[in-house]
Amino acid sequence: MCSPRFFRVEYEINPWMDTGVPVDADLAVKQWERLREILIELGHTVHTLDPDPGLPDMVFAANGAFTVDGVAYGARFRFPQRGAEAAAHRAFYTTHGWPHTESAEINEGEGDFAYLPGVAGGLILAGYGFRTAPPAHAEAVEVLGRPIVPLHLTDPRFYHLDTALAALDDRTIAYYPGAFSAGSQRVLRRLFPDAVLADEADALDFGLNLVSDGRHVVLNSDAAALAARLAAAGFTPVPVELSELKKGGGSVKCCVAELRG
């Protein structure tokens, strides 16, 4: 994770960002601290990157890389405003002894990659359409040695895969079908007949931008309807307020780069 100490909306690279809307940076830090505490209370180890005053989106740590089996596939950001974030993530992995592969292709890390260890020996779902470029999927297959299913995102409000789809446990996902092309919706129906389906309101509440340990599902407190459906499916929702970061177009998952050792 990375503190939102320098979080601002000073450019617009997704439909949620509006440079005319003020951000309460102190509140952003308070809300983010609470998210961090919740993850620690749930038993996770949380490492943090030092925020850089010149990189106002650095709080969205999910975008810096994608890891599987102790190997990190590094990000290459779509927009120049975020380009330098990749090096901060690379430095983290190299100092912690994780093999890190520099990517030649545009990809925004876990923002566009989800991992299901219990499907097909470890299946990667990969979004494209707005940020990650399709050639990055083939590159990630080579680096990570896992099968990848490309999924076409078609609604600009859901510009990263992690705004429209989430892994709930090793083999179960939740997703909003309307964020995907007709063909990708068919693929998801075939692969995940038992998925928890979200509707447009859930997705607009950033409910799918969640972090799950297979039981506890940490998600934006606005997404009360989705939380109720997750509870009915046997999960334990853990709501967290992240109103300020929503102004940057992100929520819980965007703040967390999972380290899969």
In the sheet with 123-128, reading across from the earlier edge strand, the strands are: 113-116, 123-128, 148-152
Copy the structure tokens of residue 69.
């089996």
Cα 41 to Cα 8, 83, 145, 216, 260, distances in angstroms: 28, 33, 33, 11, 19
Distance CA 11, CA 138 (A): 31
Q: How far is the CB of 181 from ligand ARG (least distance, A)?
A: 19
Q: How far is the CB of 9 from ligand ARG (least distance, A)?
A: 8
Q: How far is the CB of 97 from ligand ARG (least distance, A)?
A: 25
Length of the chain: 261
Nearer Cβ to ligand ARG (63/220)? 63
Instruction: Report the interface residues with ligand ARG, using CB under 6 A.
Output: 13-14, 17, 57, 60, 62-63, 82, 111, 160, 162-163, 248-250, 254
- Is the CB of residue 152 less than 8 Å from the CB of residue 165? no
Q: In terms of C-beta density within 10 A (0-12 exposed, 13-18 middle, 19 or more buried), how is residue 101 classed?
A: middle
Closest separation in Å from C-beta 175 to ligand ARG = 14
Distance CA 90, CA 219 (A): 27
Nearer to ligand ARG, 109 or 150 (CB): 109
Residues labelled catalytic: 160, 254
173 touches 190 (CB < 8 A)? no
